Amino acid sequence: MLATLALLAALHLTAQSPPAEQTRIQANANRIPAGKLENRVLTLHLELREGNWFPEAEAGPSLKVYAFAEEGQAPQTPGPLIRVPEGTEIRLTLRNLLPSVAVVHGLHQHPGAANDVVRLPPGEDRELRFSAGSAGTYQYWASTAQDLSRSRHGRPYREDSQLAGAFVVDPPGTAVSDRIFVLGVWRNDVTKPLSQYVPVINGKSWPYTERLTYSQGDQVRWRLINASDSPHPMHMHGSYYRVDSVGDGERDQVFTPEQQRFVVTHVLDFGETMTTFWVPPAGKWIFHCHFLIHTSPEMTVADALAAQKKDIAENDSDHPEMDHAGGNHMVGMVLGITVTRDRPPPATRGRTRKLRLIVRERPARSGLSAGFGYQVEEKHRLIPDQPTAPGPPLILQRGKPVEITIVNQLAQSTSVHWHGMELESYYDGVPGWGAKGNELSPVIKPGSTFVARFTPPRAGTFMYHTHLNDEAQISGGLYGPLVVLEPGKKFDPTKDLIFVMSRAGRKGLEGPIFVNGASELPTLNWRVGQPYRLRLIDISNSNNSDFSLRGPNGLLQWRAIAKDGADLPSSQALMKDAQQQVAAGEIYDFEFVPREPASLRLEIANTGLNSKVVQPIEVR
Ligand SMILES: [Cu+2]
């Protein structure tokens, strides 16, 4: 009898798990909930299986990974979508068809506890029954345990990296239509300072990610789930989106209207989720991770396979010059969005201001190796004398149209993106993607020019930076601050201070952090009672930075003013501890008023890199 049972079980296993090379893992767009929902009960049979995953073209190269599947169906990455209304009971069977023990997280009532896991030996089944819990955005994920001690933040990697899925509980009543995007990162190694990555959204890497189409003025709701082991500063081109909730995968915090955040970049740390609301303007936009290692054209499946073969992650393989037409200068965590109908022209005042932005080779200078830099020319005056990194601050005026002729004097193509600026997508600086009618935004070839035209609709802090061959060009110095002032206001650099955090070196590997292109900053002299505005920008290629303002007795207090160029509502423009983490692609403005004479320090640090730059300040 026992032997018969064992034989039956073995037959069952064979029937359910064809060899991995025959099993194609499907990319899951997270549109169709899995299982059967009847009488407020969801019945779902999930399996953990091995298969081949095609993050790029369906006929392209593949990686052998583990994935969740609904019984009798192809495995999916992200895993089958669990989506039910509040009040649903979930009856779930889980079967481990992998060769190792699987530890499964998140298959329980929410909010839930991170340590409430299911341990499932190979070949075993488990039946789970629980009620869905509170409305929100959650995730379930699994690891095959043996390598967790080597993983980052206890999150799975490599063959386990796609063992994750969305778990959404809708509020009672008619659910609003939305989309769910799961961010994933396959990495070959976690023990080396740099890994080879395949970063994906819903199982696909740009340019194979889903193309989204909306109409201007639509109400667009997204749920984003970071199922990877790294943070992702998610950046929207051309307009702001609103963050309505944030969660850690186990619990979800819905913001009140006063708490909702209006951003162009929001960082999702590993395991985190967010719900966003966006009213798209017409144009062709991208929404992408601002960590260059998650969009670099070297992060392809072919590179991942090569790295796996050689077991060398740091090899800087030779890449032929990419074909920059068609938007293929990026891969990975990028969504392309087309929004139909015309954007109304912004209200303008006065004559168009004309500038030239010169892109040139930059000579080496103390502590900073040679690279690229910007100069600004207006009325035949060139500022500064030599190209610098960061480039000179561009000071523009709200409502005043500007025409910036980008002059490429490099030996390679480039482009300029106006980060945070609400403009027409043709001028947004994404070659081969941005468009005006049928005309795509071009690359700016060596020796040629491109005229960018826009009218800043709001005053605030922004930046300009290259959007081509980013790893080399951003690391090389092609970025600068952009400040928009209210009409009639003058920029006073003694009271209005810009701090641009960056890092030299390809892949962000070499070199310490820099602030305003230097590792040491000359002392600032401030006056008691005078308000100072601090504009904090991170344009490192893949790092966060911790800014803090300290006095003799420790941390001071400052007032939050703006995020990503947009003034904060009064409910958020509050006094708080003068400490802020800024992720790559994020911008924060604070105001500080010194109350007594003292020696202060603005510290800009990256603890992971053990690197710090200090801005000394003497208050009299
Ligand atoms: Cu990222």
Ligand 1 centre and the CA of 232: distance in Å? 4
- Distance from the alpha carbon of residue 24 to the mean position of ligand 1, in angstroms: 26
- What's the alpha-carbon Rg for the chain, to the nearest Å? 25
CA 156 – ligand 1 centroid, Å: 16
CA 222, distance to chain mean position in Å, is: 15
Give phi and psi for 424, each to the nearest 5. Answer: -75, 140
Q: Coil, strand or helix: which one is 16?
A: helix
Q: How far apart are CA 174 and CA 248, in angstroms?
A: 25
The answer to whether the beta carbons of residues 515 and 499 sit under 8 Å apart is yes
CA of 172 to the centre of ligand 1 (A): 33
Closest CA to 138 of 203, 86, 212: 86
CB 265 within 8 Å of CB 224? no
Q: H or E element: which one contains 409?
A: none
Beta-carbon contacts of residue 329 (< 8 Å; ≥ 6 apart):
297, 322, 431, 432, 467, 468, 469, 470
- H or E element, residue 14: helix 2-16
**What are residue 43's DSSP bridge partners?**
36, 91
Q: Is 603 exposed, middle or buried (0-12, 13-18, 19+ CB in 10 A)?
A: middle
Q: How far is the CA of 483 from the centre of ligand 1 (A)?
A: 26
Q: How far is the CA of 231 from the centre of ligand 1 (A)?
A: 6
Q: How far is the CA of 197 from the centre of ligand 1 (A)?
A: 10
Residue-by-residue DSSP string for 22-53: G-EEEE--S-SB-SEEETTEEEEEEEEEEEEE
What's the CA angle centered on 142, arms 136 and 145, to 5 degrees? 145
CA of 194 to the centre of ligand 1 (A): 14
Q: Phi and psi at residue 514, in whole multiples of 5°?
A: -120, 150
CA of 267 to the centre of ligand 1 (A): 9
Beta-carbon neighbour count of residue 455 at 10 Å?
21
Asked if residue 339 lies in contact with residue 281, where contact means CB atoms within 8 angstroms, the answer is yes
What's the CA-to-centroid distance between 524 and ligand 1, angstroms? 35
Which H helix or E strand runs over 344? none
- In the numeric block, which tokens belong to residue 201? 């959204």
Distance 183 CA to ligand 1 centre (A): 8
* Residue 314 pLDDT: 44
pLDDT at 426: 96
Structure-token match 């561009």, residue found = 394
CA-based end-to-end distance of the chain: 91
Report how far ligand 1's centroid is from the alpha carbon of 287 (Å): 11
3-state secondary structure 389-429: CCCCCEEEECCCCEEEEEEECCCCCECEEEECCCCCHHHCC
| Cβ neighbours of residue 429 closer than 8 Å, sequence gap 6 or more | 415, 416, 417, 418, 441, 452, 466, 467
Residue count of the chain, please give it.
Answer: 620
**Could you tell me the distance, in angstroms and rounded to a whole number, from the CA of residue 161 to the centre of ligand 1?**
15
> Helix or strand or coil: residue 507?
helix
Q: Are 166 and 182 in contact (CB under 8 A)?
A: yes
Contact 590, 578 (CB under 8 A): yes
* 258 CA to centre of ligand 1 in angstroms: 28
CA gap 392, 294 in Å, rounded: 28
d(CA 378, ligand 1 centre) in Å: 37
Q: Measure 290 CA to ligand 1 centroid, in angstroms.
A: 6
Give the DSSP per-residue string, 275-331: EEEE-PPSEEEEEEES-GGGT-TT-SHHHHHHHHHHT-SS-----PPP--GGGTT--
Q: How many whole angstroms separate alpha carbon 305 and alpha carbon 315?
A: 13
Tokens of 180: 């769910």
Main-chain dihedrals φ then ψ at residue 593, nearest 5 degrees? -120, 110
Amino acid at 175: A
151 alpha carbon – ligand 1 mean position (Å): 17
Residue 406: which of 364, 344, 363, 454 has the closest Cα?
454
78 preceded by a cis bond (ω within 30 of 0): yes
Tokens of 445: 């070839």
From the first residue on, what is the mean pLDDT of each consecutive set of 10 residues in the chain (620 residues)? 42 50 90 97 98 96 96 97 97 96 96 94 97 97 76 80 96 86 90 81 97 94 96 97 97 96 96 97 96 88 84 43 53 95 70 96 82 95 93 97 97 97 96 92 97 97 93 90 97 97 68 88 98 96 92 97 97 97 97 98 89 96
SS3 15: helix
What is the DSSP code (8-state) at residue 430?
A: -
Residues with Cβ within 8 Å of 176's Cβ and at least 6 positions away in sequence, in order, are 221
Distances (CA, A) of 283 to 20, 250, 574: 42, 36, 35
Tokens standing for residue 515 = 């602030």
Closest CA to 247 of 162, 126, 166, 157: 166
Q: How far apart are CA 103 and CA 116, in angstroms?
A: 10
Question: Tokens for 544?
Answer: 């966060």
Ligand 1 centre to CA of 584 (Å) is 10
Does residue 67 contact residue 49 with C-beta atoms inside 8 Å?
yes
Phi, then psi, of 245 in degrees rounded to 5: -155, 155
**pTM of structure:** 0.92
Structure token digits, residue 320: 């032929």
Rounded distance from Cα 293 to ligand 1 centre (Å): 7
Quote the ligand 1 centre to 333 CA distance (angstroms): 7
